[in-house]
Amino acid sequence: MPPFWELEDLLADGLACEAALQVMAARRAALRLVDGSEPEADPASELAARRFKLIF
């Protein structure tokens, strides 16, 4: 999805512009692990990831 469509979709979902941009940045951020171990699952993070379709 082109970035401007993604932004429009997030704004239509009710997010403020700054929050929408943060979600877009989080979707594009690469998960970097220093020691190669998996981080512990955080229920709040998992819920937010599902709600905003974040992929790590």
pTM of structure? 0.50
Sole residue written with tokens 């989080």: 26
Q: How far is CA 1 from CA 8, 32, 50, in A?
A: 11, 24, 17
Residues sharing a CB contact under 8 Å with residue 47, sequence separation 6 or more, in sequence order: none
Q: Is 31 exposed, middle or buried (0-12, 13-18, 19+ CB in 10 A)?
A: exposed
Residue 1 per-residue DSSP state: -
What are the 10-residue block averages of pLDDT along the chain, 56 residues in total?
A: 83 91 80 58 71 70
